[in-house]
Amino acid sequence: MVTRRPPRMLPGSDPLVIHKIFIPIYLCMAVVSLGLAMALAALDAREGQSWHLPWPIVQWALTTPLGILAMTLVGGLVGGLSSVVAAAAILGGQFAYAVDVTELPPMAWPAASPWRRPGGPTRGEYRLGRGRRERVLSLLALALALLLVLGFVAALVAAGWYGIAHVPGCGRSGCPPSSGLAIPPMFLGLASSWLSLNWWIRHVERRCGIWFRVLYFTCYIRRPGVTADAAATALARYTRGGGRPALRRTLVAELALVPFLLMTTGLYLLGAWLPTQWIPN
């Protein structure tokens, strides 16, 4: 029988313990927001008899519980797949600093941060790289990452401003249907991303026969019956971009999350624009 979780008496701390906090929170938010959205969709379906959109498929997605559920599931799928690719990009390089501490007492374990270890890289080298060319590339990666974040924030602000400035009016047919288009997919996507990240790290542990024991995944303990060479060889298969500075790995991870960010931003934009498109019957 394969042990999926580290034994409680294992020295050190489980780096995934924080997941036990965020996963239930996002799952609860996803369930509550989905339930409210489906209830509002059922109410809007009655009011929607006096209103219609030029696009029947969009109206189905906005005014039926099944449509809301379908959009939410798509958001969870996109968030989960994007987070697995992002985790492989950023943690794959982090695994290059992992040290086998199976036969060492906890007091003799190396520091979790690679830049605090004797002979290791400095904090600047860890984040930016060695040499002028590496540092310039890392700074360019940081600038691009910041531009992406600012672009998404600007799009969200623009969507909110448009929604405030173009509030649809109510007429003889009542008020047009409205719903939080992006909220359920966003929360389910966040929950799915944490679940996928947790699954991927546990998958690496099972395939390599190890348990990670510190916050930065830089120390591990071998499972019973696993040799040091076998664990190191197996972990090497998941080590990607080990010599790549942390800032550049972060950019790759952010690019992997772009589909989820684009979906969330697009839903916010649609949620602000579509209420102005309802046509009285």
Residue type, 11: P
Q: Does residue 109 fall inside a structural domain?
A: no
Q: Work out the number of other CB atoms within 10 angstroms of the CB of residue 133.
A: 9
Tell me which of 74-78, 177-181, 201-205, 231-235 is least confident.
Answer: 177-181
- What pLDDT is recorded for position 9? 79
pTM of the predicted protein model: 0.76
pLDDT at 234 over 50: yes
- What pLDDT is recorded for position 230? 94
Q: In what order do the strands lie in the sheet with 210-212?
A: 99-100, 219-222, 210-212
Tell me which of 44-48, 213-217, 248-252 is least confident.
Answer: 44-48
Q: How far apart are CA 205 and CA 83, in angstroms?
A: 18
Q: Does residue 7 fall inside a structural domain?
A: no
Q: Which of 39, 5, 13 has the alpha carbon at shortest distance from 106?
A: 13
Q: How far apart are CA 201 and CA 82, in angstroms?
A: 15
> Could you list the residue range(s) of the whole structural domain that residue 220 is in?
19-101+122-160+176-280
Q: What is the full DSSP assignment across 124-146?
A: HHHHH-SHHHHHHHHHHHHHHHH
Give Cβ neighbours of residue 43 (< 8 Å, ≥ 6 apart). none
Q: How far apart are CA 60 and CA 74, in angstroms?
A: 15
State the pLDDT confidence band at 222, using cuts at 50, 70 and 90.
very high
Q: Largest Cα–Cα distance in the chain?
A: 78
Give Cβ neighbours of residue 195 (< 8 Å, ≥ 6 apart). 23, 80
Q: Does residue 11 fall inside a structural domain?
A: no
State the pLDDT confidence band at 209, using cuts at 50, 70 and 90.
very high
Query: Do 83 and 192 meet the contact criterion of CB atoms below 8 Å apart?
Result: yes
Q: How many structural domains is the chain composed of?
A: 1
pLDDT at 240 over 80: no
- Classify each residue of 138-157 as buried b or exposed e, where b means 16 or more C-beta atoms within 10 Å of its C-beta: beebbeebeebeeebeebbe
Q: Does residue 95 fall inside a structural domain?
A: yes
- What pLDDT is recorded for position 221? 93
Q: Does residue 10 fall inside a structural domain?
A: no
Q: What is the pLDDT of residues 120-170, one digit of tens each?
A: 788 888 788 888 888 898 899 889 889 988 988 888 788 778 767 766 666
Q: Does residue 170 fall inside a structural domain?
A: no
pLDDT at 238 over 70: yes
